[in-house]
Structure 1
């Protein structure tokens, strides 16, 4: 019980710190003259941030439901649209303000090279192609032209606020019950009550793990994992214990 309280306190502290960082990054971005009215590329769950993986991750990862449309954050011209062994199906867009954005791991591309796109226009469908672990969008922003070293990359949160992206990837049980009362019995079978169920396993979070990846491995929805473990966000940390119920 004491360990659970300690873990909960650490999670709350992490959430506070991340919120403070995101807010500070956005404020700094606006001070530097970055545009503040970009569209979000897709609404979903942020599963990895810029600069993680010992500084090698030069974008953000956003997990969302299969079939979700990927949108251009601003008007521009498609500079590349092809299949890469690492990026999978990927689209690059050059914007008139000098930025170039990258949309990777798509299941399908809907914009070819040379096409002029408007803000919010569909570029493709979210996918799991290339070097990827689960359905998500890998999104990059470069202040200038993209290069293989990604030396011009910047934190996307300078232009798109984290809170604008975050949206439940799957409907929670309470939301489903409000919208479709005919499926209550099915929902209750899929989402056991943690008060009367026993944990069948305890998962120790390792470095590099995300709640989305764990949900895919355990075949459990992110919203259910959050509910079972009293999580208020998708942030997890190495050494944290996650309970899975039957």
Structure 2
């Protein structure tokens, strides 16, 4: 009888522990995006046009698609470390980056990968070139974001536009531009002729905005006019923010 009671008590304790772990995991998963909204400033990973959004295809599309030119630079949205870099029959050339916030971002269908496993990454670093490798119908970047870890069933996937800014299919985005609140900073709803010029330029120099920088100060520092910087980056105002990536020539 005593042995039966001991086993019964052990079973109850184990059940309580499992329940607490489950509830704690669910709480972390639900809270993460809201907490990051306040402190994370991701930048868009590529220049191009939004061709598909999160949750389409009967809920099976667990990312966003950015269509663009072959070999468009792909940028890391935030600091982190490469945890996977390989070729997949579905993702094609793909890179996974783990961020200090315990988020994992996925960059798929790349024409070429420029980083390897274990490599530290800074926000705005080029990690590859846009392509159509793997199971892709056209040239684009398939970008995913996951809480805690990437899983085959994509259980922890969430809409990356929660941290990038809301965009609709057909709107253009610019790699390196950060979100401000719910709106994307200086993202145009129409393709501009200069976008084609920028895509075809084989050499692009970029500048990461530092705290206290102004467009005029940056122009003097890099010896490029303010007007030219605004044209290259499709800026309609002088508003810039720390960690924003600017094309300077």
Which TM bucket (shorter chain)? 0.5 to 0.7
The Cα offsets for residues 100-158 of structure 1, whole Å up to 9 and x where unpaired, read as: 00000000000011100100001100000000011000000001110000000000111
Number of the residue aligned with 2:74: 70
Give me the CA root mean square deviation: 2.7
Q: 2:108 aligns with which of 100, 104, 109?
A: 104
| TM-score of the pair, normalised by structure 1 | 0.55
Aligned 8 A contact 1:87 1:129 in 2: yes
Matches within 5 A, 1:18-167: 31-34=34-37, 35-163=39-167, 165=173
How far is the alpha carbon of 1:33 from its aligned partner?
3.4
Aligned 8 A contact 1:63 1:169 in 2: no
Assess, with a 3 A threshold, how the Cα gap between structure 1 residues 70 and 62 changes in structure 2: closer, same or farther: same
How far is the alpha carbon of 1:64 from its aligned partner?
1.3
How far is the alpha carbon of 1:30 from its aligned partner?
7.2
How far is the alpha carbon of 1:43 from its aligned partner?
2.1
The Cα offsets for residues 156-200 of structure 1, whole Å up to 9 and x where unpaired, read as: 111101458355896549x98xxxxxxxxxxxxxxxxxxxxxxxx
Within 1, Cα distance between the matches of 2:189 and 2:131? 17
Q: Report how many residues are paired.
A: 149
> What secondary structure sits across from 2:36 in the alignment?
coil
5+ residue gaps, structure 1, are: 1-27, 177-246
Matches within 5 A, 1:202-221: none
Aligned 8 A contact 1:107 1:124 in 2: yes
Within 1, Cα distance between the matches of 2:119 and 2:189? 32
**Consecutive aligned runs of 4 or more in structure 1 exceeding 2 Å deviation:** 28-36, 162-173
Assess, with a 3 A threshold, how the Cα gap between structure 1 residues 127 and 168 changes in structure 2: closer, same or farther: farther
Within 1, Cα distance between the matches of 2:43 and 2:87? 24
How far is the alpha carbon of 1:72 from its aligned partner?
0.4
Aligned 8 A contact 1:78 1:115 in 2: yes
Instruction: Flag the structure with larger Rg.
Output: 2
| TM-score of the pair, normalised by structure 2 | 0.55
Within 1, Cα distance between the matches of 2:140 and 2:190? 11
Within 2, Cα distance between the matches of 1:71 and 1:103? 9
Aligned 8 A contact 1:64 1:169 in 2: no
Aligned 8 A contact 1:45 1:167 in 2: no
5+ residue gaps, structure 2, are: 1-30, 174-186, 198-249
Number of the residue aligned with 1:237: none
